[in-house]
Chain A
Amino acid sequence: MSSRTLMSALRGAFLISALAAVLFPLTWVTLASFKTPQQLNDPSLIVFQPSLINWSYVFEAGILQAAGRSAFVAGITVLISAIVGSAAAYVISTYKAGGSATRFGILAAQVLPPAVLVFPFLTLAYVLRVNDTLIPLIFAHLSFVLPVVTWFLIGFFDSVPRSLEEQARVDGFTRFKAFLLVVLPQVYPGLGAAVIFGFTLSWNDMFYGLILTPSKSAILPVAIAGFNTFRGVELGSMSAAILVAVVPVVIASFFIQKRLVQGISGGAVKY
């Protein structure tokens, strides 16, 4: 066997083990969600009569309502971020509006530790009597989704040729119309990726949810964590709840993976 075939065999084996490492926990949780509590006692059990007991339990426990609240918060957050973010990203990319201070602020806000902002949100929510509602949570999520979406879009506006807009202006478009009808459509793929990515970030956040909406308006990640503490550990129903949170975003992620790099790096890396 030549060293080249040996190398490619090793590479194949390495990738297969990486895939196994990724898929094993997910498969395990999926299996567990269909097991009865008795069946869960036997970790070796792979083939069994599937039961829907855990699924009906999590639906009764209100997992869909929690998922609905998460989707609502993520939807509003991402809608505001997309509108505000695309306008800002366009002028930052095209006219260097706001200078490097603005771009630094956008980057810093993305990576700001949530521990810094969460306590003001909590106290302000108490003062304004909107504690344990979704309103402070939407603002909290805007604090990181908006900068991420804006940053993301700067990377895409950067790759739109300036001549396109100049041509539109020559053709008699106002500056705003040229943006809306000529430049913006060029970044629709990037905007789509930014929207899905921003939605995922909001959907996945637990820290703000845990502190701002701990009980009656609990969002999905907080609801999942609830299966861990109440009435002991209910592994089967916890597994079903985990899948409710995981499956939609993982499927959505398949559509944006290719555009993610250009967005995360703010256009520094093209793919």
Chain B
Amino acid sequence: MLLPLLAVSGVAVGLPLAYAFYLSLTNFSLTQQGPAGFVGVDNYQGSLTNEGLWSAIGTTATYVVIAVTLETILGLLIALSLQKQKWARDITRSMLLAPMFITPIAVGLTFRFLLNDQLGAIPYLLDGVGISYDFLGTGNALLTLALIDVWQWTPFMVLLLLAGLESIPKQPMEAARVDGAGALYIFRRITLPLLVPILSVAILLRSLDALKVFEYVYATTRGGPGTETETIQYFTYQTGIQFFRLGEASSMAFILLAIVLPLIIILFRRLDRAK
């Protein structure tokens, strides 16, 4: 009964993966006539010395660190609050989780609209209190993109952490409270350590997903100002689709894969151990 899975994923994942690897060893280009020439590791050498790629990797790393850190802190605070909430539990949870189900391009375009300096609500409200801030301007754009990520994906953290909080045993906390421990002490010394397994899984899953950021960039900055918000996925898209250099783009994709593979292995080990 495993065979259908192996067959379908062979066609949908295995075959394109192998073909992508072949492409990465050729100078294949969509605009070029005739068969592609075999160039060996030239694309890899080219990509590894491509400053644009390294700058995109740096940009993506900064983005992931800012977004996932904020999402973890906010997600934990919201999950702790929800756990103690008594009234309107289900409706509050449902509404707070809603953003993670929205198509990311819609989120990107919504914020592009909200942040528009003439028609947008946020600059208008800030103007009312005398603040003028260029959200998508030089130096600010990457932070703004990370904050859009925070809006959409903090709910994912809330979902996993709330489940984690509700599945850990209650007795150690009660015992500590009876012994006179304060709320902050109980949280730091008991709740947080018990939460670490699910917390690490949530952070890994979120990081792996945030690495793929594309839609927000496409909707708002298109990589600008300059190349400030060019993320890996966007840079690869440009190389492959706008410049038609599929061989080179495929080598970049494999470099990206080499970077994320350790994260995937750690995630797998964590999930296996949790079981």
Q: Which residues of B contact A32 (CB under 8 A)?
A: 113
What string of 1s and 0s marks CB contacts (under 8 Å) between B116-130 and chain A? 101111001000000
Q: How far is the CB of A209 from chain B (nearest CB, A)?
A: 9
Q: How many residues of A contact B (CB 8 A)?
A: 99
Measured CB to CB, the nearest residue on chain B to A151 is: B271
Chain B contact-residue range equals 35 or more
Interface majority SS (helix, strand, loop, mixed), chain B: helix
Chain B residues 146 to 204 lying within 8 A of chain A, measured CB to CB, are: 151, 155, 159-160, 163-164, 166-167, 183, 198, 201
Q: Which among A90, A210, A265 is the interface contact of B201 at CB below 8 angstroms?
A: A265
Does B164 lie within 8 Å of A269, measured CB to CB?
yes
Chain B residues near A (Cβ < 8 Å):
1-2, 4-5, 8-9, 11-13, 15-17, 19-20, 23, 28, 30, 74, 77-78, 81-82, 84-85, 92-99, 101-106, 109-114, 116, 118-121, 124, 151, 155, 159-160, 163-164, 166-167, 183, 198, 201, 205, 208-209, 211-212, 214-215, 218-219, 232-233, 236-237, 240-241, 246, 249-250, 252-254, 256-257, 260-261, 264-265, 267-268, 271-272, 274-275
Q: Evaluate contact between A11 and B121: CB separation under 8 angstroms.
A: no
Indicate whether A92 reaches chain B with its CB closer than 8 angstroms: yes
**Cα of A1 to Cα of B109 in the assembled complex, Å:** 45
A23 to chain B, nearest CB (A): 7
Q: Which A residues are in CB contact (< 8 Å) with B113? A: 28-29, 32, 235, 238-239
Contact of A88 among B4, B81, B246 (CB under 8 A): B4
The segment from A51-59, A161-169, A256-264 that touches chain B is A256-264
* Residues of chain A contacted by B214 (CB below 8 angstroms): 206-207
Determine whether the beta carbon of B119 is less than 8 Å from that of A41.
yes
Q: By the criterion CB–CB under 8 Å, are B102 and A250 in contact?
A: yes
* A224-B253 CB under 8 A given contacts A119-B23, A123-B23, A146-B12: no
- Asked if A117 and B114 sit within 8 Å, CB to CB, the answer is no
Give Cα A103 to B74, complex, Å. Answer: 31
Least CB distance, A183 to chain B, in whole angstroms: 12
